[in-house]
């Protein structure tokens, strides 16, 4: 496994030709955040690689996950209204600050790349690849505000998948149009999540257990999340793909190739849906947090492989290799004749051990994939992921005279 290669020569040649193209029309991003980031990035040392900013931001989302998992592993901290949410109030402030750190570093890394003359396809892949992991972690924080009474695990499942769809659809759009249309919802979501956590510190997290005419805050949260995608994202993405075909400005893939990125995505959704509804031991209620990590890890692997395909101009995967062990595990856990065939039933503890084992395996496999892809790209372009190769005068000259740049270091951010 250590000698496994994930990128072919076709991938690497495609990365050499790749040029980043994006359109951002969000007034919050264009008129507020970008001017703010332009000021902030001036205080970042020139020797600091942009991928360090990206990775530190991602680590903030991991810290949040670990912190809330410690205080509320089963999402039941908010369930008892008489004693209130048992997660300490300071945790919500730390989580809110960490989200803002992640969001702002995510906005500054590309500016630091251009500032240091280190823009390249590796930076975009590193950035969006880690974002795909954060897409699973961030909504999990909010589940601890609502508890399993107002937001049962099966509804958490659909919330998680709605976030997956919003993230993935944007990259499907780029796979077909060649342009990254930055979604409006991202900036508002980051500020919204942070605000919700700050309010939990100021007024107490129990405010999110209130209801009006049997409509809970969790209901409003779910409706807002789904509605934001339907109103501000999905129709625009479909329109952009349609216009790229109409005006012949996109990749002009045949219809089935255009839809191919959805194959692996839908397979994962169907397999996890079957497990959620037909588990012999109702595992979604027994181990929801571990399941979200498992689903998020496999989703991130699917998204990363799509990003590699779109950047290298290659064909994306129609099925993900990590879904084979997932499908086998789901088959065992949902097999209706299990007791008749094996002479004993699958115990609740046994299924939980299967969930934990599969999560560890898929996490290690995904980390190996990420490490392997980054290492192969660094070796090919002769760069270091976390170091700025040229600084000072050389970097400034490189920015002033882009025609003298190494043709392998292409703009990505």
Q: What are 57-109's pLDDT values in tens digits?
A: 999 999 999 999 999 999 999 999 888 889 999 999 999 999 999 999 999 99
Asked, for residue 413, whether it belongs to a domain, the answer is: no
Asked, for residue 257, whether it belongs to a domain, the answer is: yes
Asked, for residue 407, whether it belongs to a domain, the answer is: no
Average pLDDT, whole number, for the chain?
90
- pLDDT score, position 409: 34
- pLDDT score, position 329: 95
- pLDDT score, position 404: 41
Whether the per-residue pLDDT at 407 is higher than 70: the answer is no
Q: Tens of pLDDT along 156-180?
A: 999 999 999 999 999 999 999 999 9
Whether the pTM exceeds 0.85: the reply is: yes
Query: Among positive and negative, which fits the CA dihedral 81, 87, 90, 96?
Result: negative
- Domain holding 154, by residue range, is 9-402
Asked, for residue 2, whether it belongs to a domain, the answer is: no
Higher pLDDT, 332 or 231: 332
- pLDDT score, position 339: 74
- Placement of tokens 């670990």 in the chain: 66
Percentage of the chain beyond pLDDT 90 is 76
**Residues, the chain:** 413
Asked, for residue 348, whether it belongs to a domain, the answer is: yes
Question: How many structural domains compose the chain?
Answer: 1
Task: Give the residue-averaged pLDDT of 312-341.
Answer: 90
Asked, for residue 410, whether it belongs to a domain, the answer is: no
Whether the per-residue pLDDT at 369 is higher than 50: the answer is yes
User: What are the residues facing 238 on neighbouring strands?
Assistant: none
């Amino acid at each position: 496994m250590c000698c496994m290669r994930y990128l072919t020569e076709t991938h690497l040649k495609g990365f050499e030709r790749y040029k980043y193209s994006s359109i951002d029309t969000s007034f919050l991003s264009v008129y507020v955040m970008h001017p703010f980031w332009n000021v902030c990035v001036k205080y970042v040392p020139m020797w600091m690689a942009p991928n360090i900013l990206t990775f530190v931001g991602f680590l903030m989302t991991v810290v949040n996950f670990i912190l809330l998992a410690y205080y509320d592993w089963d999402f039941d901290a908010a369930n008892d209204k008489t004693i209130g949410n048992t997660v300490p109030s300071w945790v919500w402030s730390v989580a809110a600050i960490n989200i803002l750190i992640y969001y702002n570093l995510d906005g500054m890394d590309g500016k630091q790349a251009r500032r240091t003359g280190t823009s390249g396809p590796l930076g975009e892949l590193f950035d969006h690849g880690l974002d795909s992991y954060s897409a699973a972690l961030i909504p999990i924080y909010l589940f601890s505000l609502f508890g399993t009474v107002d937001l049962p695990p099966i509804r958490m499942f659909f919330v998680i998948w709605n976030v997956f769809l919003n993230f993935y659809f944007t990259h499907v759009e780029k796979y077909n149009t060649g342009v990254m249309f930055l979604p409006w919802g991202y900036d508002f979501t980051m500020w919204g999540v942070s605000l919700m956590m700050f309010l939990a510190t100021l007024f107490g997290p129990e405010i999110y257990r209130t209801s009006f005419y049997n409509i809970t805050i969790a209901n409003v949260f779910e409706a807002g999340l789904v509605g934001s995608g339907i109103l501000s994202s999905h129709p625009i993405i479909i329109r952009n793909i349609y216009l790229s075909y109409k005006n012949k400005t996109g990749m002009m893939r045949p219809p089935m190739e255009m839809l191919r990125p959805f194959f692996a995505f839908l397979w994962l959704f169907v397999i996890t849906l079957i497990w959620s509804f037909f588990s012999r031991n109702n595992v979604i209620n027994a181990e929801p947090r571990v399941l979200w990590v498992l689903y998020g890890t496999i989703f991130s692997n699917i998204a990363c492989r799509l990003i590699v395909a779109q950047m290298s101009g290659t064909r994306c995967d129609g099925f993900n290799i990590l879904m084979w062990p997932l499908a086998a595990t789901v088959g065992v856990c949902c097999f209706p004749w299990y007791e008749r065939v094996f002479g004993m039933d699958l115990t609740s503890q046994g299924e939980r051990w299967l969930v934990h084992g599969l999560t560890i395996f898929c996490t290690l496999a995904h980390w190996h994939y990420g490490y392997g892809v980054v290492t192969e790209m660094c070796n090919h372009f002769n760069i270091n992921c976390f170091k700025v190769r040229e600084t000072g005068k050389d970097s400034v000259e490189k920015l002033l005279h882009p025609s003298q740049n190494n043709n392998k270091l292409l703009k990505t951010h």
